[in-house]
Chain A
Amino acid sequence: MSAAIAAAERIGFERLAWLTACLALALLAYVNTLPIWVTGLVAGTAALRLILAARGRGAPPRPLRIAVSLLAIGLLFVQYRTFNGLSAGTALLCLIAGLKLLETEARRDVYVVTMIVYFLSLAALLQGESFWLLSYLIAVSWLTTTALLRITSATPAIQWRSSLRYSGKLLAQSLPLAVAFWLFFPRFGGPLWQLPDDGGGATSGLSDSMSPGDISDLANSDEVAFRVRFSSATPPPEERYWRGPVLHDFDGQTWSRGEPVRVGVPRLLFEGTPYHYTVSLEPHEHNWLFVLDWPSEWNVARAGLTSDYMLVQPTPVVQPVDIVATSYSHAVAAETLNPVMRTRDTAPPPGNPRSLRLAEAMRAAHPDPLDYVHAVLDMFRHQQFYYTLTPPRLGSDPVDGFLFDSKRGFCGHYASAFATLMRAVGIPARVVTGYQGGTYNRFADYWILRQSDAHAWDEIWIDGHGWLRIDPTSMIDPQRVERGLNDIVRAGVPATSRWQQRTPWLSDTRLRLDALRLLWRQRILSFNEESQVKLLSLMHIPDPDEQKLALVLGFCLISGMAWLTWTVRGELTPRPRDPVTRAYQRLCRRLAAAGIARQPHEGAESYAARVARERPDLGAAVAALCRRYSDLRYAARPAAGEAALFIAGVRSFKPRGSRGSS
């Protein structure tokens, strides 16, 4: 007998092949992010192991395995310089999975491989956010669990289908508990410990610096930056400027945040219309949040304004987050400009001598700062400046090259040139990057801001007015906007975009899909402590807090376990589907409680006869019910409605007198 068990401990080719398939499916979620050689190595080890198993041989010799492992892990370290962090960690895990497969022989190794599959699935979800990814990985885990069931069972079911059905049933039964856990398990908001900075993850969207050409790269991206739903009136387009990084330092080529200045947040006097809205921000791996100019209130407790009115939080946005905020269309500075900030925002721009000369000349003609600003804007408006996604390359003095030679540029060029011209004459100016405009989704009443809506504009300080938003790009006559289809195609946008513009129904479908995505995002992805509190108050629990949450979770856990016990045990003796049978069983139970239990050999009629003998008071009612039951069961064609009458009759039949009273 013990020999048989030892044989069962070793796993054969078929089982190994299934295990490998499960692992491969889990790794599929990583193909995009893994270094190509890791994928290759894992595929290689899997193939090698399978070939060996197909020939009935065991794992390759131990020294070889150790050598390959050390080599691969060393290589990985050389590539990432760390094993900490999500991308290096998952790469390591994938590698270990492949190497583990190489030595998989006994049942113990099967457990290790399945556990790796589970963890890989989780790690993929830590960064992913799509419904499809979740469904896919649950399906992979289902398959893996089925493989585990078959490999660990001494007498497995013959058919894969029945194994799949069984493990699927187990997964289905675990759903209610999982939902309860998910809803009520306390969330902590922030990370439990500091996440190592992930070098591997590619970030998209705005960064904290801007070369004039940068934004034109974003213009080709369809990716969603955030979505906004206004709970108040929607601001007009000229007020929909979503504030992102504010840039101060200019080295002649690139604008950047520069060193932070240690001054308080200058107070603002809000004027104009208040706008209430919710920004559903996609993770962009930076600290800042996008809000409408000028933000006055927001619900992210950890976030605060910088001295240049950026809304930032201490940790990068790595998960979708909802920001409920209020902004005002206008704001006036309540105090004068701090000298430190003035110095920073009037730093003379290096290089670009022709621009500086032009600025001085214009300033001489317009002594009033506002007149000067209008003169510069008029220059953009009336001269032959063009707006294009594909500006020509500019030399070492890009502002000069743009203003005097090419006169073609993107919003970054205009913002940069304008700020240079302001600073040249001592007017404090800074470049603000963010998003502007957006697509309205009429199916669900919200705005989609894509990376292609990225924008750059300027803010200048005029004494007595405070910071004024100036968008020099908006001066360009629409006729001078060179943004045709051809431009987009040349820039490498996939052909689907052309399709979308030609087929309105397709863009409608896309909008509807996006509405679903927003729903998924808001309900699932950005579910947090506040949502839990809201949920508790929906459940009419007074003063919801963390403690109540834990209580509710505990209650759900206990009742969930009780439900499980009941359900799982109930499968031993399933309730009959047929309502008539169920009713008859109920009748028998009631009579048994009254002291006359039906004997296993008794049919309905003979049972009724005995009841009539032992309890004459019940006799007539029971006889009628049993008569009806017999008819339902044995009559060639029972009368219509008979079943309902029988069930109702049983329901209202309540024999008096308990056990032993007969």
Chain B
Amino acid sequence: MKRLRRAATLRLARWAARRHGRDTLPITINRRRIYIIPTRFGIALALLLVAMLLAGLNYNSNLGLAFGFLMMSLVLVAMHHCHRNLQGLIVDARTEVDAFAGGVARLEFVMHNDAAVARSDIEIRCGDVIAIHSVAAGSYHRAALELPVSRRGIARHERFELRTRYPFGWFRAWTYVQSPLTVFVAPEPRGGRSLPPATGGGSAGLSEQRGDEDFAGLRSYEPGVPLKHMAWKVLARGGEAAVRSYTAQAAQPEWLDWSALQDLDPEMRLSQLCRWILDSEHDRHTYGLRLPGAEMAPGKGAAHRLLCLRTLAEYPADTSA
């Protein structure tokens, strides 16, 4: 029964996906994409209402009928309110988040309600994970969904679902948002090897590494640059996005190198690299990452860390022997 239901849900979701195509976030939930069915309590109540109607007709009781019809209409009104609870809600999600294997990925959703009524009991569902939140009238609400991630790699959820059974739980209205949520799952940070020694570029003099000590001019923007290095004034004047370039004089980068860990198996190597990245970042060191076929130039800061972790996450599992 449960399997059957799951299969039906999946088919429905696929059909909805074909019907609506891919969605771009943020999305406003319009009425054409909201589906609604009675819950089992709603069906039970419907049967009861039929019984009430028959009783009223049989006893030819106008008051009984009046009461029965009032309850019937109440159910219909509740249906409209359930449907409306989702309608016009604006939803956004942060689609690229970090996680470590064996931990949880925090997906962040923002529900924006610019209507004059509150949205109560909105369930956000992604896979089997559910979060229930309400959004007050004319406000927004951040909701986090913690997805357990077991394996390194890229976890993709093709869609998420918004569902509500408010008010009364007689009906269930839901909508699918066909927007993939991507989670880069870095390897679980493990391993006790000490950091490799900082290696100079060979020369003992000042190496013109990019750093953050002395201003050395502007260069063009590339992703992952610390925000504080952005040349906002240039951007505000209408120029290209530019980054103030600095040189780091003293800091010698640490090279976190795949090849330095030859005695470990590949996943363990990645775990160790991950550990190092976190440690280096924690100690505010400058570090670079070398993997077979990929190299991250030395750097530091949240964006750099993110890029390195993603590189680890994306590293193919089976190429290395």
| B interface: dominant SS | helix
Give the residue of B59, B69, B146 whose beta carbon is less than 8 angstroms from that of A185: B69
Q: Which residues of A contact B78 (CB under 8 A)?
A: 170
Report the Cα distance A561→B81, complex, angstroms: 12
Tell me whether B70 is interfacial, beta carbon within 8 Å: yes
Q: Find the B residue at minimum CB distance from A319.
A: B60
Q: Find the B residue at minimum CB distance from A149.
A: B167
- Judge whether B132 and A154 touch: CB under 8 Å: yes
Give the residue of A134, A155, A189 whose beta carbon is less than 8 angstroms from that of B121: A155
Q: Which residues of A contact B88 (CB under 8 A)?
A: 572
Report the Cα distance A188→B61, complex, angstroms: 11
Tell me whether A264 is interfacial, beta carbon within 8 Å: no
- Judge whether A145 and B74 touch: CB under 8 Å: yes
Q: Find the A residue at minimum CB distance from B113.
A: A572
Q: Find the B residue at minimum CB distance from A318.
A: B59
Tell me whether A160 is interfacial, beta carbon within 8 Å: no
When A170-B81, A573-B115 are in contact, do A189 and B87 touch as well, CB less than 8 Å?
Answer: no
- Judge whether B70 and A175 touch: CB under 8 Å: yes
Report the Cα distance A525→B116, complex, angstroms: 41
Q: Which residues of A contact B72 (CB under 8 A)?
A: 177-178, 181
B65-84 CB mask vs A (1 if < 8 Å, else 0) is 11111111110111011011
Q: Which residues of B contact A190 (CB under 8 A)?
A: 60
- Judge whether B56 and A122 touch: CB under 8 Å: yes
- Judge whether B45 and A174 touch: CB under 8 Å: no
Give the residue of B44, B74, B116, B133 whose beta carbon is less than 8 angstroms from that of A174: B74
When A174-B77, A181-B69, A185-B65 are in contact, do A122 and B52 touch as well, CB less than 8 Å?
Answer: yes
A541-573 CB mask vs B (1 if < 8 Å, else 0) is 000000000000000000001001100110111
When A125-B63, A178-B66 are in contact, do A572 and B77 touch as well, CB less than 8 Å?
Answer: no
Report the Cα distance A297→B67, complex, angstroms: 35
Q: Which residues of A contact B120 (CB under 8 A)?
A: 153, 155, 157
Report the Cα distance A192→B54, complex, angstroms: 8
- Judge whether B57 and A153 touch: CB under 8 Å: no
Give the residue of B51, B121, B129 whose beta carbon is less than 8 angstroms from that of A154: B121
Q: Which residues of A contact B56 (CB under 8 A)?
A: 122, 126
When A170-B78, A569-B87 are in contact, do A119 and B116 touch as well, CB less than 8 Å?
Answer: no
- Judge whether B44 and A192 touch: CB under 8 Å: no
Tell me whether A441 is interfacial, beta carbon within 8 Å: no
Tell me whether B150 is interfacial, beta carbon within 8 Å: no
Q: Which residues of B contact A573 (CB under 8 A)?
A: 115-116
Tell me whether A129 is interfacial, beta carbon within 8 Å: yes
- Judge whether A175 and B166 touch: CB under 8 Å: no
- Judge whether B60 and A137 touch: CB under 8 Å: no
Tell me whether B198 is interfacial, beta carbon within 8 Å: no
B241-273 CB mask vs A (1 if < 8 Å, else 0) is 000000000000000000000000000000000
Chain A nearest CB: distance from B45 CB in Å?
Answer: 6
Tell me whether A574 is interfacial, beta carbon within 8 Å: yes
Tell me whether A392 is interfacial, beta carbon within 8 Å: no
Tell me whether A524 is interfacial, beta carbon within 8 Å: yes
Tell me whether B64 is interfacial, beta carbon within 8 Å: yes
- Judge whether B41 and A111 touch: CB under 8 Å: yes
B85-106 CB mask vs A (1 if < 8 Å, else 0) is 0011000000000000000000
Report the Cα distance A70→B193, complex, angstroms: 72
Report the Cα distance A178→B68, complex, angstroms: 8
Report the Cα distance A118→B69, complex, angstroms: 12
- Judge whether B71 and A1 touch: CB under 8 Å: no
Report the Cα distance A178→B58, complex, angstroms: 19
Report the Cα distance A133→B67, complex, angstroms: 11
- Judge whether A181 and B64 touch: CB under 8 Å: no
Chain B nearest CB: distance from A653 CB in Å?
Answer: 28
Q: Find the B residue at minimum CB distance from A191.
A: B58
Tell me whether A436 is interfacial, beta carbon within 8 Å: no
Chain A nearest CB: distance from B130 CB in Å?
Answer: 6
Tell me whether A123 is interfacial, beta carbon within 8 Å: yes
Q: Which residues of B contact A154 (CB under 8 A)?
A: 121, 132
Q: Find the A residue at minimum CB distance from B167.
A: A149
Q: Which residues of B contact A149 (CB under 8 A)?
A: 167-168
Tell me whether A20 is interfacial, beta carbon within 8 Å: no
A501-539 CB mask vs B (1 if < 8 Å, else 0) is 000000000000000000000001111100000000000
Q: Which residues of B contact A174 (CB under 8 A)?
A: 70, 73-74, 76-77
Tell me whether B207 is interfacial, beta carbon within 8 Å: no
- Judge whether A181 and B55 touch: CB under 8 Å: no
- Judge whether A171 and B44 touch: CB under 8 Å: no
Q: Which residues of B contact A568 (CB under 8 A)?
A: 77, 80-81, 83-84
Q: Which residues of A contact B203 (CB under 8 A)?
A: none
Tell me whether B317 is interfacial, beta carbon within 8 Å: no
- Judge whether A171 and B58 touch: CB under 8 Å: no
Chain A nearest CB: distance from B215 CB in Å?
Answer: 38
Tell me whether A59 is interfacial, beta carbon within 8 Å: no
List which A91-121 residues lie within 8 A (CB) of chain B: 107-108, 111, 115, 118-119, 121
List which A178-199 residues lie within 8 A (CB) of chain B: 178, 181-182, 185, 187-193, 195
When A318-B60, A565-B80, A573-B115 are in contact, do A118 and B132 touch as well, CB less than 8 Å?
Answer: no
- Judge whether B66 and A182 touch: CB under 8 Å: yes
Q: Which residues of A contact B7 (CB under 8 A)?
A: none
Q: Find the B residue at minimum CB distance from A531.
A: B62
Q: Which residues of A contact B87 (CB under 8 A)?
A: 569, 572
Tell me whether A69 is interfacial, beta carbon within 8 Å: no
Give the residue of A145, A188, A561, A569 whose beta carbon is less than 8 angstroms from that of B84: A569
Report the Cα distance A166→B78, complex, angstroms: 11
- Judge whether B69 and A182 touch: CB under 8 Å: yes
Tell me whether B210 is interfacial, beta carbon within 8 Å: no
- Judge whether A122 and B64 touch: CB under 8 Å: yes
In this complex, which of A152, A189, A195 has the most chain B Cβ atoms within 10 angstroms of its Cβ? A152
Q: Which residues of B contact A108 (CB under 8 A)?
A: 41
Tell me whether B169 is interfacial, beta carbon within 8 Å: yes
When A154-B132, A155-B133, A170-B74 are in contact, do A129 and B54 touch as well, CB less than 8 Å?
Answer: no
Report the Cα distance A573→B114, complex, angstroms: 9
Q: Which residues of B contact A565 (CB under 8 A)?
A: 80
B189-232 CB mask vs A (1 if < 8 Å, else 0) is 00000000000000000000000000000000000000000000
Closest 3 CB pairs of A and B: A174-B73, A177-B73, A181-B69
| Besides A2-B130, A129-B63, A192-B54, 14 other A-B contacts (C-beta < 8 A) | A127-B61, A137-B67, A141-B70, A170-B78, A174-B73, A174-B77, A175-B70, A177-B77, A187-B60, A525-B63, A568-B80, A569-B31, A571-B116, A572-B116
Q: Would you mind naming 6 contact pairs between A and B with Cβ atoms under 8 Å apart?
A: A1-B129, A1-B131, A153-B167, A157-B120, A564-B80, A573-B115
B residues with a Cβ closer than 8 A to A are 31, 41, 44-45, 48, 51-52, 54-74, 76-78, 80-81, 83-84, 87-88, 115-117, 120-121, 129-134, 146, 165-169
